[in-house]
Structure 1
Amino acid sequence: MKILLKATLVIFIYTGLAMSCDKDDDNSQQQNTTIPQTINTAQSGSWKITYFFDSDHEETGHFTGYVFTFNENGSLVAVKGSTTVTGTWSVTDSNSSDDDGGSNDTDFNIFFASPADFEDLSDDWDIISVSNSKIELTDVSGGNGGTDFLTFQKI
């Protein structure tokens, strides 16, 4: 009787553990990429925006021809011919003061004060994926609830 009780208890515990596993516990690149790895990847070369969807429409064309450089000092520079636009960037976790408190993920923070097209890039983006050649980001807008997407491709 005691053995049957112990066996039932063990099965109950293992069943509870199995049920507590979540489908979100996958091996996505974002989950496996640390903050230092993400920073090193961004700093590893020049980038262009290959996709920017702002809530309700695509705005990728606003950034055609711009080359983005994520500098070690936290500056973000976009250059197109003789035009240079400077902003800042960082990668933080959800415990940082840079986070909006909307998620528990690592944030890829971008800030441009102007011009207006670049202001649209200013946000604390959630990381979808990071590879040596692509950084994919998303953000759910607090204002209208729309979802934005931003993709940088290494040049």
Structure 2
Amino acid sequence: MIGKNSHMKSLLAFLLLACFSCSCSSEENPSRTDENLVQNLSTGQWAISSFVENGLERGGDFAGVDFSFFPNGQIEAYRGTQLLGQGSWSSGNAVRRIEVRISFPSGSPFVDLNADWYQVFIRLNRIQLRNTRIDSDDFLILQRR
């Protein structure tokens, strides 16, 4: 009976381990962490490959503009070496998603990007964000240069 009890304990331990490893969701993917988003954004320059606002594609409005996101929370927009504008950004975890807040001062040509965005997709060279407003279908795709 002792051998059978030991076998049952081993089987139970295996089943618990199998259930635990299968219960991990895609939300727990390490590429979805705030730390990885900050590290990704603050490395290199980014261009807007798509910006949809109120159902209209406006990515062309930002053609030729590169954005640098600095770890200290500053954003700079350049065309070549010419500085076009400065703003701020921050990120954090909110209700099972990563959020990014972009803010340029009023009068800036980049004020339309001001919003709270949430991370939909992140890879080394591409980040897709969606506006957090419930009634919004706005999204922003950044591509590393």
The answer to whether structure 1 residue 131 and structure 2 residue 131 are counterparts is no
Partners of 2:46 and 2:39 in 1: how far apart? 13
Partner residue of 2:74? 75
The 3 A distance-change label for structure 1 pair 29 and 104 is: closer
Matches for 1:67-146 after TM superposition, within 5 Å: 67-81=66-80, 82-94=82-94, 104-115=96-107, 117-141=109-133, 145-146=135-136
Deviation for aligned residue 1:104: 4.2
Matches for 1:18-57 after TM superposition, within 5 Å: 26-27=25-26, 32-57=31-56
Where 1:106 maps in the other structure, the secondary structure is strand
Q: Alpha-carbon deviations, 1:103-139, whole Å to 9, x = none? A: 5421011111134651111111010011110010001
TM-score of the two chains, using structure 2 as the length reference: 0.74
Partners of 1:26 and 1:117 in 2: how far apart? 40
Q: Is the 8 A contact 2:42 2:68 kept in 1?
A: yes
Deviation for aligned residue 1:26: 4.5
Partners of 1:104 and 1:33 in 2: how far apart? 10
Structure 2 segments unaligned to the other structure (5+ residues): 1-18
- Between the aligned residues of both structures, percent identity stands at 26
Instruction: Give the number of equivalent residue pairs.
Output: 124
More strand by share: 2
Q: Alpha-carbon deviations, 1:52-107, whole Å to 9, x = none? A: 0002211111100101000121100011143421010111122xxxxxxxx54210
The 3 A distance-change label for structure 1 pair 104 and 29 is: closer
Partners of 1:48 and 1:61 in 2: how far apart? 11
Partners of 1:118 and 1:68 in 2: how far apart? 11
Partner residue of 1:8? none
TM-score of the two chains, using structure 1 as the length reference: 0.70
RMSD: 2.6
Structure 1 segments unaligned to the other structure (5+ residues): 1-17, 95-102
- Runs ≥4 in structure 1, deviation > 4 angstroms? 28-32
Partners of 2:127 and 2:28 in 1: how far apart? 10
